[in-house]
Amino acid sequence: MKDKLAALFADHIRTVRERWDRALAETGFDSVVVAAGSQREAFLDDSTYPFIVNPQFKVWVPVVNNPNCFVVYKPGKKPLLAYWQPVDYWYKPAETPGGFWVDQFDIRIIPDETKARQYFPKSGKVAVIAEGDGAGQGTTNPKALLDYLHWERAFKTEYEIECMRRANVRGARAHVAAEKAFRNGESEYEIHLAYLRAAETTEQELPYGNIIALNENASVLHYMLHVRTRLNGPQRHSFLIDAGATYNGYASDITRTYSSRKDEFQKLVDAMDTMQQELVAAIRPGVNYPDIHMLAHRKIAEIVLRFGFVKDIDADGIVTKRISGTFLPHGVGHFLGLQVHDVGGFSADKSGKSIPKPEGHPYLRLTRKIEPSMVFTIEPGLYFIETLLAELKKSKNAKYVNWQKIDEFRKFGGIRVEDDIAVTKDGHENLTRDAFAVIG
């Protein structure tokens, strides 16, 4: 396994260097300094916030938990890593770098972050990618350079896709444990702990905060509370979990929804799962991602008709009158990689020009044409959100809604089904479904 990553990483770094060579040349820079970032103290306190590494740093090295490091790169030269390893007895310093990736770098250990400056370029035009004023020299975060790099980030190397395969396996294993905890009657908090144990991760290492939602809490799209109270059998209706994992800094993003019993809500979950797989089946190079989003709205319209939530109107009318947006208010997916919502989703080209979102769909995060080596999520949902239903009830479209049926389903909150998809030359690879198959 390590040997495979070593071979893939060598190809990955070769591709990264080629991309950055072109980006630096086209934007007029001779070299670049990329900061990992620093540890920040909380306001009026001496405790620190969790460290989150600069994603443009970890595209170079799988070092995600050590601040005050720098990658220094000049085209034609081996990239240098200034690696922070202080002499300290208050906190345990980072281990000396080792593993499959170290041969690709000229590694210099620095006991103090200021010592990194001795390795910074002394001449030429220098770009600095860092928070704030970064390294204190050169041009910090030049827009033209970042636009170019963000465009390129959409195309994953095989090393990056392999890391996301492994992140999906780790996440799928934890999802199975979470469902078991739900079936055993555990609370949101206890389900969350079961997930962490199965993923062998800490909260800080998660790619995003786990959404662990029982019943109507599933109608809150980014529900972050973990209620400690257990619900007894008759009180337990549904469970939505949106949770991922990381591998070498790359994320998985997986959502599943369950009913507590074999009822009509379970049939609705099954219908949404089938619909999600139909969306995935439509993915291939050359398709515009917004077309997948609009297909999701068409299929949501068909489902709300089939289950009797909407009446006296056809599916086209449900979409045209934007009734479908009440049930599916978010975009159908987003780029995935070094960040959960990876960059470049609206890029028209390397210049920073953007592709607009479809009118009436402000929360779509990806408008580009689908191309090989892209990785993104497909995550349609169907929700019973109190505020949106209240708006619909006040509108002219209220007459098309079966409010009695809606009221019966409010207690379930909603449904979301999400997989991570890697685009191939002639189709796609479902990283998430494959991961669930691997773990059995």
The mean pLDDT of 192-221, rounded to a whole number, is: 98
The residue among 297, 343, 339 whose CA lies nearest residue 322 is: 297
Q: Which two tokens stand for residue 68?
A: 């005050």
Q: Which two tokens stand for residue 350?
A: 């390397």
Q: Which two tokens stand for residue 341?
A: 């919502």
Q: In what order do the strands lie in the sheet with 419-423?
A: 375-378, 419-423, 428-430
3-state helix, strand, coil in the chain (%, to 5): 40, 15, 45
CB 170 within 8 A of CB 255: no
With bands split at pLDDT 50, 70 and 90, how would you rate the model's confidence at 137?
confident
Please give the Cα distance from 50 to 355 (Å, whole number): 34
With bands split at pLDDT 50, 70 and 90, how would you rate the model's confidence at 3?
confident
134-143, 203-212, 308-317: least confidently modelled range: 134-143
Element (H, E) at 105: none
Q: Which two tokens stand for residue 303?
A: 């489902």
Give the tens place of pLDDT for each residue, 77-115.
Answer: 999 999 999 999 888 899 999 999 999 999 999 999 899
The C-alpha angle with vertex 134 and arms to 129 and 138, in degrees rounded to 5, equals 70
Cβ neighbours for 402, distance < 8 A, ≥ 6 positions apart: 308, 309, 310, 311
Q: Which sign does the torsion angle of CA 176, 180, 183, 187 carry?
A: negative
Give the tens place of pLDDT for each residue, 23-64.
Answer: 999 999 999 999 999 999 999 999 999 999 999 999 999 999
Query: How high is the pLDDT of residue 311?
Result: 97
Please give the Cα distance from 111 to 16 (Å, whole number): 28
CB 243 within 8 A of CB 175: yes
Residue 189's CB is within 10 A of a number of other CB atoms, namely: 15
Q: Which two tokens stand for residue 146?
A: 């970042």
Which residue in this structure is represented by tokens 């109190």?
386
Which residue in this structure is represented by tokens 């297909």?
295
CB 352 within 8 A of CB 147: yes
Query: How high is the pLDDT of residue 133?
Result: 62
CB 120 within 8 A of CB 72: yes
Please give the Cα distance from 144 to 32 (Å, whole number): 13
Which residue in this structure is represented by tokens 């997989």?
419
Please give the Cα distance from 294 to 305 (Å, whole number): 17
**What is the number of residues in the chain?**
440
Q: Are strands 126-129 and 31-35 parallel, antiparallel or unpaired?
A: parallel
Please give the Cα distance from 210 to 6 (Å, whole number): 31
How many Cα neighbours within 13 Å face the side chain of 35?
Answer: 24
With bands split at pLDDT 50, 70 and 90, how would you rate the model's confidence at 127?
very high
Percent of the chain with pLDDT over 70: 99
297, burial (CB in 10 Å: exposed 0-12, middle 13-18, buried 19+): buried
Strand partners, 167: none
Domains in the chain (CATH in brackets) are 2-152 (3.40.350.10), 158-439 (3.90.230.10)
CB 218 within 8 A of CB 383: yes
The mean pLDDT of 324-335, rounded to a whole number, is: 98
Q: Which sign does the torsion angle of CA 315, 307, 213, 435 carry?
A: negative
User: Residue 151 carries which side chain, given as an amino acid letter?
Assistant: W
Is the pLDDT at 2 greater than 80? The verdict is: no
Cβ neighbours for 210, distance < 8 A, ≥ 6 positions apart: 192, 195, 226, 241, 242, 243
Which residue in this structure is represented by tokens 């002499």?
87
Which residue in this structure is represented by tokens 């619900």?
231
